[in-house]
Amino acid sequence: MSPTNITMEDIRSAQDRIATFIHRTPILTSNTFNKLVGCELFFKCENFQKVGAFKYRGATNAVSQLGPGEAVNGVATHSSGNHAQALALAAAIKGIPAHIVMPRNAPLSKKEAVAGYGANVIECEPTLEARESTLNQVVKETGASFIHPYNDERIIAGQATCALEIMEKIHDLDVLIAPVGGGGLLSGTALTARYFSPKTRVFGAEPSGADDAFKSVKSGHIIPSVNPQTIADGLLTSLGDKTFPIIQRYVEQILTVDDEVTIKAMKLIWQRMKIIVEPSSAVALAVVMTYTEHFKNQRVAIILSGGNIDFDKIPFR
Amino acid sequence: MSPTNITMEDIRSAQDRIATFIHRTPILTSNTFNKLVGCELFFKCENFQKVGAFKYRGATNAVSQLGPGEAVNGVATHSSGNHAQALALAAAIKGIPAHIVMPRNAPLSKKEAVAGYGANVIECEPTLEARESTLNQVVKETGASFIHPYNDERIIAGQATCALEIMEKIHDLDVLIAPVGGGGLLSGTALTARYFSPKTRVFGAEPSGADDAFKSVKSGHIIPSVNPQTIADGLLTSLGDKTFPIIQRYVEQILTVDDEVTIKAMKLIWQRMKIIVEPSSAVALAVVMTYTEHFKNQRVAIILSGGNIDFDKIPFR
């Protein structure tokens, strides 16, 4: 039995559906990095995606699939991260309302960015309970469609298009590595590999201080993320019942790395590639730096998931 | 009378000569920036060039033109900046020695980078006199060819290839803006426009705290840079007798900007384009932000000259 309803055709359709809205991001290579880690690396630059992260793919795919009756009432979500901006922009482009519930203590810059896309920002107390109850309230009042940041098949199929772009450009790929938080990107990536390049092995990259996906796969059921401690603030959430079964079945292994290596990887990317990535992106390179033997002499693609960072929180000088 | 011996053919030959050694860097666009400044911008990303700066073009062109008798003794220069790394790598690729005189107080990271390319680093006191006398000594002892960072026709022709790549990709360009320090990039850019796209107007971008090029053009003779004060540490030097006449004749105007705007421009580029540029690069965007009326609704290319920065000196948070 398939671990998901998402088909090969769903991913192809998602790609067609979002093609005119998203950036087809570049894939960079670097001799310096290849020498450093002893394999051939391909960096898929979703930091150059609209709103600065891959999240715009899924949000656009979800918003594009709303029927006219649903669309008119807009969309809603709770998020303090990239999904908030992604959904806000996707809704703005479609010309429908977006209601974004954000914790009161979210950085002002993030609230302003979301409001800047014309979304309605609703503040709540910084607890999961408050976020969910506020969201429920908003949905009830507005009739907006809740778009979950990852546990939604439209979102997963949208994120899956990133790996599809890689497969179309880079052939004979041995390995594909994506960071894992809630698992939207990783499950989509694994599905794309399964359908379009079954010989490519997919790995999840996770901070050791937020290793709930690692533990979930090991134990065979979803283990929630409790009090995660990592600089990779995009990878704090727990897997969902739509992402976990795909990851469990099609991801070869979740590899965990210490923040220390992630910071080193992030600095290397900034210094040598001259591009800005957020810590969550660097986790995938940190995996290659930590488990070099796993990838020796292989062709390895890494998804650099995003580039949104508060400059007052740069973890190196 | 032409202000230079450098011909159209010299620039074309330089392009052929260095083609296999350099990166053909991408040209990025951004709707956000276009809206912000009211013109159509094209960013030529020399921050992605080898050694992280356009300087590698000129250095490679110069090194490639050495005869066998000269080449065997290697090259020498004094520089604490991007030219040092550029010449070191160009020499290493050609398999000849490089002797780089650097002031004792240059950042350790820069000395290590130059030494990392296999160059011989010679330290001296941090004065122009010491740098020149040490260099003369080195040249006398080794027979190495002195490659000036900008006041050299081979260097100018090499830097000119950057604008040529722009012209080949972007047609009907109204304006081309390059930062100006010693004038190697600006004079090369102006020559390329003159030869290959005479309708394109070329502007020099200069920090108001280091406005010797502005003053030189105004007064009609080279006014040396004395005690320059700017964050743009690549733009501190004076024009040379090979760069000044070209700039005087073919550059429409030198536009000066305050560091405050340069820092704002740099932060915008980091935040919105997700790429790392050094302050000297941001000066060109700062010009567009300062003199918006000059460029209204025009097609404007900006050369982002480099991306080498000490992360402990990021001028914003």
Q: What is the pLDDT of residues A183-213, one digit of tens each?
A: 999 999 999 999 999 999 999 999 999 999 9
Shortest distance between the Cα of B316 and any Cα of chain A, in A, equals: 7
Reported as a single tens digit per residue, the pLDDT across B112-126 is: 889 999 999 999 998
Q: What's the mean pLDDT in B73-82?
A: 93
Q: Which residues of A touch B271 (CB under 8 A)?
A: 311
Is B274's CB within 8 Å of A270's CB?
A: no
Taking each helix axis from N to C terminus, what angle separates A184-196 and A8-18, rounded to the nearest 10 degrees? 110
Question: With bands split at pLDDT 50, 70 and 90, how would you rate the model's confidence at A1?
Answer: confident
Q: What's the mean pLDDT in B98-112?
A: 90
Interface residue ranges in chain B relative to chain A, Cβ cutoff 8 Å:
26, 47-48, 52, 267, 270-271, 274-277, 307, 311-312, 314, 316-317
At residue B1, the pLDDT reads 85
Q: What's the mean pLDDT in B36-46?
A: 97
Is B275's CB within 8 Å of A271's CB?
A: no
Reported as a single tens digit per residue, the pLDDT across A79-137 is: 888 999 999 999 999 999 999 999 998 888 889 889 999 999 999 998 889 999 999 99
pLDDT over 90 (residue B282) = yes
At residue A202, the pLDDT reads 98
Is B275's CB within 8 Å of A276's CB?
A: yes
Question: With bands split at pLDDT 50, 70 and 90, how would you rate the model's confidence at B81?
Answer: confident
Is B274's CB within 8 Å of A26's CB?
A: no
Shortest distance between the Cα of A117 and any Cα of chain B, in A, equals: 12
DSSP secondary-structure letter at A238? P
At residue B7, the pLDDT reads 98
Q: Which residues of A touch B270 (CB under 8 A)?
A: 276, 311
Shortest distance between the Cα of B223 and any Cα of chain A, in A, equals: 34
Q: What's the mean pLDDT in B54-58?
A: 98
CA angle B307, B312, B317 (to 5 degrees): 90
Is A316's CB within 8 Å of B311's CB?
A: yes
pTM of the model: 0.94
At residue B314, the pLDDT reads 87
Q: What's the mean pLDDT in A15-20?
A: 98
Closest Cβ opposite residue A275 in set B276, B316, B317: B276
Q: What's the mean pLDDT in B273-291?
A: 97
Q: Which residues of B touch A271 (CB under 8 A)?
A: 311
Q: What's the mean pLDDT in B92-109?
A: 92
Percent of chain A scoring above 90 in pLDDT: 91
Q: What's the mean pLDDT in B51-55?
A: 96
At residue B110, the pLDDT reads 84
B286 to A67, B232, B263: CA distances (angstroms): 45, 12, 8
ipTM above 0.90, yes or no: yes
Percent of chain B scoring above 90 in pLDDT: 91
At residue B177, the pLDDT reads 98
Question: With bands split at pLDDT 50, 70 and 90, how would you rate the model's confidence at A75?
Answer: very high
Is B311's CB within 8 Å of A271's CB?
A: yes
Q: Are strands B145-146 and B75-78 parallel, antiparallel or unpaired?
A: parallel
For residue A51, give the chain B residue with the closest CA: B272
* Alpha carbons A82 and A86: distance in angstroms, whole number: 6
At residue A310, the pLDDT reads 86
At residue B108, the pLDDT reads 84
Question: With bands split at pLDDT 50, 70 and 90, how would you rate the model's confidence at A313?
Answer: confident
**Exposed, middle or buried, A88 (CB in 10 Å: 0-12/13-18/19+)?**
buried
Number of H helices and number of E strands within chain A? 14, 10
Is A274's CB within 8 Å of B47's CB?
A: yes
Q: What's the mean pLDDT in B186-200?
A: 98
Is B317's CB within 8 Å of A307's CB?
A: no
